[in-house]
Every structure is written in structure tokens, then in C-alpha cells.
Amino acid sequence: MVGAYDDRDGKIWMDGTLVEWRDAKVHVLTHALHYASSVFEGERCYNGKIFKSREHSERLLKSGELLDMPIPYTVDQIEEAKYAMLKANGWTDAYVRAVAFRGAGADMGVSAAKNPVRLVVAGWEWGAYYGDAKMQGAKLGISKWKRPSPETIPSQAKAAGLYMICTMSKHEAEANGFSDALMMDYRGYVAEATGANVFFVKDGEVHTPLADCFLNGLTRQTVIQMLKDKGITVHERHIMPDELTGFQECWLTGTAAECTPVSQIGDYHFQVGHLTQDVTKSYEALVRA
């Protein structure tokens, strides 16, 4: 599939109906466009099966609940919508995007309780998020923007508004020759990349930031359990930036990123080592099982 994302052939599921791709539109006074009242999920379908599909649907509903935006669909209905969209487009391997948002309605201000909550499920065929980084390792800059305190917004909601600083951080990183950026949290601890969680290896043990102010990704949870099943010690803890110099390996996890090795973060360099390669291969085998 090629072309701008608003000018393609195919079908998108909108509020219970499959519509032509180019007809999947919303009004310019949609509340989400003005006030970021939107939550979403990114998922991948492998060989006709969406990995962790129900968990994603459950998290979407939870995100809506956390943002005081009840989504008027059940998990089963969201599941049906996702697979209907895939079938209509003839895809067995694709990225799936479910997004719920406050639409246009009687309210057009900060308050939007009278406006309908809408649901859209789209998808597209998408390869490796970081290109050839799975072989060579992704290169990350370090963002000046920090993940906010959970006192400012529910950090476990996959809310669109939380990604604006991610977009800004990724743009700056790309302008400086990197493919992504590592972000710190509001306290100065290592947090995550702009759309993926981060893991480090030191002396055969794995260290990953404690997800207490950013999204505890489903891929993150999957990989942590995978490592424990392999008998590898995993430390979920606060990590200071100056600790990066002592880690030998690094990788990112996320639905889009899958498991992607990292070779550089700012001035710090890492090996695409044995454990990183093993986790990457094990994850690929798991999602295609």
C-alpha cells in the first residue's frame, strides 16, 4: 500500500460500518481535534491472528475510562470490528489501529460530556518500524522533553495527547541523524523511547525502567515474562542516565517496534549481543506461533 494515508484504496471500520477508505472522515469541529480527547491502540496481525488482541481491546476501554470517556462498545464488539476490517482488506499480516474519540456534538469547549464517543478501526501493511535496525541496531538521541508526572494525566492511558512531546522528540532526533529518542521522566530517571519501552543488559541480567509514569506496554510485559521463563533475572527499577555507560546491550519493545536492538543512545554505544538477538528471535517466533 502506497500513498498518503487519506488517499488509499481499502476499507475502514467506523462506528459499526465498513466504509470506503477515502470516505472515512470527521468534521473539523470534532472535539478530539481541538482538545485531544482521544485514545488508541496499535496492534499487529501475524498470519491472520492479532497478537494480544483482547488485551489491546481491554486496554482501549480502560484508557477511555481513565480519561472519563466511556467507549460504547464491548471487547467482543471491538474484536469483531478488527477482524472485519482485516477481512475486508484481504490482510493476514498488518498493523491495526483502533482509535476512540469525542466527536462533534452539542459541546464545543473543554467540557464534552454531551458529545458522542466514536470508534474507528483502520489498518495498513507495515514492515519493520526502524528499517534495518534489527540487524545493525537503532540509533537514538536523547530528548530534552520529559515524560510527565502521573499527577498531570493518567499515565497508563494510551492517550493521544501524551504523544505530542514524543512527536517533537522524534522530529528532533531524526533531524540530528537518529531514528528515535530516549526520554527521561519528570524526576530525571530513564523512561522510554518515543513509542517503545527500553531494556538494558549488564553482566547477563536485564534492567528496565519501572513503568510508574509511562505506559506499561503489552510487548514489554510479554518480553519480561519471556526472559523470566528463560531463567534470566529482570530488574524493574529506576535507572539514572549516568548508568547507561555500564550497560553492554540494549533493545526496544513495542507493538510497532516489536523487539529492536539499539546500538547507540547519544554518546553511549551498545553491542547487538547474544541476549538481544535471542530475545528478538524468540519474540518473532512467539507472535507467529
Residue 281 phi/psi, 5° resolution?
-70, -40
How far is residue 36's CA from residue 84's CA, in Å, rounded to a whole number? 27
User: Could you give the angle at which helices 53-66 and 75-89 cross, rounded to 10 degrees?
Assistant: 120
Residue 202 a catalytic site member: no
Nearest to 77 by CA among 54, 49, 103, 94: 54
Residue 205 phi/psi, 5° resolution?
-110, 155
How far is residue 165's CA from residue 188's CA, in Å, rounded to a whole number? 16
Q: Pick the catalytic residue: 158, 228, 230, 281?
A: 158
Residues ≥6 apart with Cβ < 8 Å to 138: 130, 179, 180, 252, 260, 261, 262, 263, 264
Annotated active-site positions, please?
158
